Amino acid sequence: MQYKMTEEFAGAMVTVIPVILLVAAVEFITTIRQVEQWLDAAVEDPAAPPRSPHITNVLLSLVWCGIAVAHIAAEVDLIKWLASVKRPADPGMARFVTEVAVIGFWSIVATAVFLAAIMFLRLWRAEKTLIQRAREAEIAEASTEPAPAE
């Protein structure tokens, strides 16, 4: 694929890049909160000492930093290009901006899938707990019923 920086492309991307960054930021914060809640729910003992950040959140934070820096760099490059008198058809910059946008879109999709997986696991665990409690209640009820008269 050949790339070419044009005024139309730069004008569109200078608007799209911040939108991707904003949506990704909201999803990132939501994901971090969901992971924290999921991990907190997994700790059975409320008296347990506070835990350090989970490796999942550390990795998500590192990935998020990389995505944010790339988007900011692409946005700055686009603004500089649009503000310059000479606007060369810079294929390297066009490719960089395109790849950053694609990575941003995929990060949004991946984060949504990750959030859906966390929610599914939480619901599955809750359902499993409810079924177990219902069985325990049945057993307790059966053991307290008086024996049938003969």
DSSP letters spanning 57-105 = HHHHHHHHHHHHHHHHHHHHHHHHHHHSSS----HHHHHHHHHHHHHHH
Give pLDDT, residue 43. 60
Percent of the chain's residues with pLDDT above 90 = 5
Is 31 inside a domain boundary? yes
CA distances for 127 relative to 19, 29, 39, 120, 141, angstroms? 37, 26, 17, 10, 21
Range of the domain at 43: 7-115
* pLDDT score at 107: 85
pLDDT tier, 142 (very low <50, low <70, confident <90, very high otherwise): confident
- For residue 1, the 8-state DSSP code is -
What are the structure tokens assigned to 89, written together?
A: 């058809």
Residue 125 lies in a domain: no
Residue 18 domain flag: yes
Q: Is residue 135 part of a domain?
A: no
* pLDDT tens digits for range 3-23: 888 888 888 888 888 888 888
Domain count, the chain: 1
Q: Which of 39-48, 51-60, 118-127, 136-145 has the lowest mean pLDDT?
A: 39-48
Q: What is the pLDDT of residues 123-141, one digit of tens each?
A: 777 788 888 888 888 887 7
| Top-confidence residue, 38 or 87 | 87
- Whether 149 maps to a domain, the answer reads no
pLDDT at 137: 82
d(CA 30, CA 23): 11
Q: What digits encode the pLDDT tens for the residues 37-47?
A: 766 666 666 56
Residue 86 maps to a domain? yes
User: If you average pLDDT over every residue of the chain, what do you get?
Assistant: 80
Lowest mean pLDDT among 26-40, 69-83, 128-142: 26-40
Instruction: Answer yes or no: is pLDDT of 72 > 80.
Output: yes
Residue 113 has what pLDDT? 84
Please indicate whether residue 57 or residue 77 has the higher confidence score (pLDDT). 77
Residue 147 in any domain: the answer is no
Residue 69 lies in a domain: yes
